[in-house]
């Protein structure tokens, strides 16, 4: 009965005590999450350990009522797994090491990713502009865009949730982007940072 349900429905059901919802969630994300972990550690046993630790954290957080990222279950689980992979490398001291020298400058591989105050303001303005523009799109295109960009859902998941075929979901996304570009041109908005 849960196979068709989306993640947020399953999370709610699990929080309300339905253990079968957890089984569906684990089985649904098993391969994707395990493959992600394996692609970092290249070891089946460590992959199993990190997979288990990830879901132990998930279970504890959900049971403690601390989960508040509704609609974004899988990205949240991925972040937990990613942090555990980093912890694993820290513990086992297997992080790649670089030493600065006359022929090699450490700053060639380090990047400052955080935005300064001005760039952060511009980023916030751009995001706000896009949200405003999105409200001018037809409802079905807005829905696909929100699910894809803000909820990180696959087109298969979008199709299942909106009751249309994958091709229709893809088409709506395409037209949403085309229309957004038209609106940007019409309003002469500059979306660069």
Partner 1 sequence: MEQIYSSTPDSCKLVSASEESVRFLLDYSKSLSIVSSRGMTFESNLN
Residues that bind partner 1 (CB under 8 A): 19, 22-23, 26-27, 30-31, 33-35, 38-39, 42, 44, 47-48, 51-52, 55-56, 59-60, 63-64
Smallest distance from partner 1 to CB 102, Å: 17
Smallest distance from partner 1 to CB 55, Å: 5
Give whichever of 59 and 177 is closer to partner 1, judged by the CB atom.
59
Sign of CA dihedral 4, 8, 12, 17: positive
Give whichever of 67 and 175 is closer to partner 1, judged by the CB atom.
67
Give whichever of 28 and 146 is closer to partner 1, judged by the CB atom.
28
- H helices present in the chain, as ranges: 7-15, 19-41, 44-63, 73-92, 117-134, 139-145, 155-162, 166-187
Rounded Cα distance between 7 and 84, Å, is: 22
Give whichever of 98 and 150 is closer to partner 1, judged by the CB atom.
98
8 A C-beta contact, residue 67 and residue 15: yes
State the number of CA atoms in the 13 A half-sphere of 111 facing the CB: 3
Smallest distance from partner 1 to CB 15, Å: 11
Smallest distance from partner 1 to CB 37, Å: 8
Give whichever of 38 and 175 is closer to partner 1, judged by the CB atom.
38
Smallest distance from partner 1 to CB 106, Å: 14
Residue partners of 9: CB distance under 8 A and separation at least 6 = 2
Rounded Cα distance between 14 and 5, Å, is: 12
Smallest distance from partner 1 to CB 169, Å: 24
8 A C-beta contact, residue 50 and residue 37: yes
Give whichever of 56 and 178 is closer to partner 1, judged by the CB atom.
56
What CA–CA distances, in Å, run from 80 to 12, 33, 61, 164? 19, 11, 11, 32
């Amino acid at each position: 009965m849960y196979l068709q349900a989306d993640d947020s429905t399953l999370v709610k059901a699990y929080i309300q005590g339905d253990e079968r919802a957890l089984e569906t969630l684990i089985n649904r994300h098993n391969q994707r999450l395990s493959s992600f972990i394996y692609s970092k550690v290249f070891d089946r046993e460590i992959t199993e350990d990190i997979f288990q630790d990830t879901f132990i954290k998930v279970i504890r957080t959900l049971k403690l009522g601390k989960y508040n990222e509704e609609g974004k279950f899988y990205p949240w689980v991925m972040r937990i797994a990613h942090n555990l992979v980093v912890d694993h490398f820290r513990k086992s001291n297997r992080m790649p090491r670089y030493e600065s020298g006359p022929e090699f400058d450490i700053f060639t591989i380090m990047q400052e990713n955080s935005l300064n105050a001005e760039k952060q303001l511009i980023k916030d303005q751009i995001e706000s502009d896009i949200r405003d523009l999105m409200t001018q799109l037809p409802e079905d295109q807005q829905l696909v865009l929100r699910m894809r960009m803000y909820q990180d859902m696959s087109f298969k998941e979008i199709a299942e949730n909106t009751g249309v075929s994958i091709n229709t979901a893809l088409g709506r996304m395409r037209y949403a982007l085309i229309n957004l570009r038209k609106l940007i041109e019409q309003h002469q908005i500059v979306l660069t940072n």
